[in-house]
Amino acid sequence: MKTIQVKLIVIGVIHSPYKRVEEAPRQGTGDISEIEIFKEYERGLTDISDFTHLHVFYWLHKSKGYKLMVNTPWDYRPHGVFTTRSPHHPNPLAYTVVTLLERNENILRVTGLEAIEGTPVIDIKPYIKKLDLKNDAISGWSENVEFKF
């Protein structure tokens, strides 16, 4: 197993209505979370209010272990882990597109996050339509799934 030893910089923390892993919904909800970006990185948020959607990257510090074949709640067949958005990938790196409701200094109010209180945030990138919008995408086994949150 090849690994790289890295020091992840924690740029902020998620404040969420979900306090325990069991309470966290599966993907994107209408519930409001707050992303607190630490003051030393606040300047990096300049102009962010002009964006409606953001990519948020966070580290699932409570995630333990993974399997290469995964049972999802959305299908009766198991699927390869890299075709699922399961939180249990080889690296506990989580990624969600959120809707930015409001920025107040170093606090971003968002919907769409499924993370629990205290989850460390490691990056934010803008959702740029010309790069991220793939209208012709076909989503494999999940193509016709009615996700219910």
Binding to a second copy, residues 77-96 (CB under 8 A) = 79-85, 89-91, 93, 95-96
Q: Is 148 in the site for a second copy (CB under 8 A)?
A: no
Residue-wise DSSP of 67-136: -SEE--TT-SS-EEGGGS--S-SSS-EEEEEEEEEEEETTEEEEE---PPTTPEEEEEEE--HHHH--TT
Least distance in angstroms from the C-beta of 52 to a second copy: 5
Distance CA 22, CA 18 (A): 8
Distance CA 55, CA 34 (A): 14
Interaction mask 89-128, a second copy, x per CB under 8 A? xxx-x-xxx-x--------------------x-xxxxxxx
The binder of a second copy chosen from 22, 73, 104, 129 (CB under 8 A): 129
Please give the residues from 6 up to 65 whose contact with a second copy meets the rule CB under 8 A. Answer: 6-11, 27-28, 37-38, 40-41, 43-48, 50-55, 57, 59, 61
Least distance in angstroms from the C-beta of 30 to a second copy: 14
Residue in the structure block whose two tokens are 């993370």: 115
Residue in the structure block whose two tokens are 């990056």: 123
The binder of a second copy chosen from 22, 64, 65, 134 (CB under 8 A): 134
| Three-state DSSP class for residue 15 | strand
Cβ atoms of 127 and 55 within 8 Å: the answer is yes
Least distance in angstroms from the C-beta of 39 to a second copy: 12
Least distance in angstroms from the C-beta of 38 to a second copy: 7
